[in-house]
């Protein structure tokens, strides 16, 4: 599947909210509570105002297939990924992470980290396929790291 990536725009708000509230996404998140629409709208607007986290939309043709986000912390960032339910299990998550790594390198970041629940096999594999290495696990949450420059 040919995928592209672009910066999120304000009109992506509803799609991002739908993906964030998908039950599998909630179960795999640190905070599993549902996200009310109004809370999402102000969070999404703030991401544009602050520029952090930076959200990118992965597209398959004209269709939104998911997102990756980079939460910047100096020269490092935490990467997270959320694929639209109908696009899961088709290699999109793995490719989305690869695209996020390219963007991060272009932004001059030196390393990325991701936090993945021990029970989230698909996410663990998708990060490992992209050369992320499991660093430590605490209370069911594993930290994955990847350096972008040697």
Binding footprint of ligand COA on the chain (CB under 6 A): 24-25, 28, 80-83, 88-94, 116, 120-123, 125-126, 129
Phi first, then psi, for residue 62 (nearest 5°) are -95, 0
How far apart CA 148 and CA 108 sit, in angstroms, is: 9
Least Cβ distance, residue 46 to ligand COA (angstroms): 21
Least Cβ distance, residue 147 to ligand COA (angstroms): 19
How far apart CA 99 and CA 54 sit, in angstroms, is: 14
Least Cβ distance, residue 65 to ligand COA (angstroms): 9
Closest to ligand COA by CB, 139 vs 150, is: 139
Closest to ligand COA by CB, 55 vs 116, is: 116
Closest to ligand COA by CB, 49 vs 70, is: 70
Closest to ligand COA by CB, 124 vs 148, is: 124
How far apart CA 111 and CA 145 sit, in angstroms, is: 7
How far apart CA 61 and CA 64 sit, in angstroms, is: 8
Helices (H), the chain: 13-20, 23-27, 37-50, 92-106, 121-129
Least Cβ distance, residue 126 to ligand COA (angstroms): 4
Question: Is the alpha carbon torsion for 99, 39, 42, 64 positive or negative?
Answer: positive
Q: Which residue minimizes CB distance to ligand COA?
A: 93
């Amino acid at each position: 599947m040919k995928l592209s990536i672009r910066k999120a725009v304000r009109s992506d708000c509803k799609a991002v909210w739908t993906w964030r509230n998908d039950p599998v996404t909630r179960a795999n998140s640190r905070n599993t509570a549902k996200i009310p629409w109004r809370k999402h709208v102000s969070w999404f607007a703030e991401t544009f105002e602050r520029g952090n986290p930076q959200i990118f939309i992965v597209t398959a043709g004209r269709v939104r297939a998911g997102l990756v986000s980079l939460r910047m912390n100096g020269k490092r960032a935490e990467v997270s990924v959320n694929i639209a339910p109908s696009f899961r299990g088709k290699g999109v998550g793995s490719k989305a992470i690869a695209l996020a790594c390219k963007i991060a390198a272009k932004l001059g970041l030196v390393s990325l980290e991701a936090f993945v629940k021990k029970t989230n096999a698909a996410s663990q594999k998708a990060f490992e396929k992209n050369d992320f290495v499991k660093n430590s696990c605490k209370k069911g949450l594993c930290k994955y790291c990847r350096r972008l420059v040697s």
